[in-house]
Structure 1
Amino acid sequence: MVAEQVVEHRAFDRPDEVREFENGRLELLNMAGGTVGRLILRPGWQWSRHVRPVAGTEWCEAPHFQYQISGRLHVAMSDGGEFESGPGSVTSLPQGHDAWVVGDEDVVLVDWYGATDYAKQA
């Protein structure tokens, strides 16, 4: 007997959950036993200014595995490392970081790992 395969097809224009925060938004889709998120971060957004008050932690504690669609993002790690990413970047980012939008274009990211608890009230 062959197990039946189920196809799921979803789009971010109808997310299961939306979390709004100053200068940003997270849209979540729950599917295939997991969660995928789309982060839209507007110019001026910085995790430590706009999400830390919601998260209640010193650093972002959500690990991320994400693909960047647009914009420039600067990431500072708690160990002192820093880097900047742009469109087409794929990042595996451990917990313990801050980040901010560089320039005047929205940063749009698709996150397959850390979105579940991102910007969730502490």
Structure 2
Amino acid sequence: MQTVEHETFAKPSEVREFPHGKAELLKVGDSVIGRLTLQPGWRWSNDVKPIAGTDSCLAPHFQYHVQGRLAIRMDDGREFVGGPGDITSLPQGHDAWVVGDEPVVVIDWYGATDWARAEEDAGHE
């Protein structure tokens, strides 16, 4: 049976900070939703790769882009930029970086659990 829950990013369940950014996580039922705030200069391969210990991000993501522009390059070479109002669905195997001088904010509905965690702890990134 579904229950009523109310959570807010004003009081996240967990916050993970890393160079040039942070992941705020909310636990809602059996799900974890993340709000990622990435500052200008952030790049996964520079700022999260040392934490994850993998060549590219191995966590799949389903994200809503709230603010800023985020470039994404898949391991197969496909590349695009997500901006406010966009939805991105990413399989594992990608890099990403902030484009421009505005911070990026995305809501990650899938994959947030393993953001900025070591591979042996997470099994994804």
TM-score bracket, normalised by the shorter chain, equals over 0.9
TM value normalised by structure 1: 0.95
CA distance in 2, matches of 1:76, 1:9: 35
Aligned 1:43-82 pairs, distance under 5 A: 43-82=40-79
Inter-partner Cα distance in structure 1 for 2:72 and 2:118: 22
Shift of 1:118: 1.2
Structure 2 length-normalised TM: 0.92
- Count of residue correspondences: 119
Query: What RMSD over aligned residues (CA atoms) do the two structures have, in Å?
Result: 0.9
1:117 shift after superposition: 0.7
Structure 2 unaligned spans of 5+: 120-125
In the TM superposition, 1:1-122 aligns within 5 A as 5-122=2-119
**When you count helix as a share of all residues, which structure comes out higher?**
2
Unaligned runs of 5+ in 1: none
Share of identical aligned residues, percent? 61
Deviations 1:6-29 (A, max 9, x none): 211111010111100000000001
- What is the letter of the counterpart of residue 114 of structure 2? D
Q: Offset of 1:50 from its aligned partner?
A: 0.2
CA distance in 2, matches of 1:107, 1:36: 16
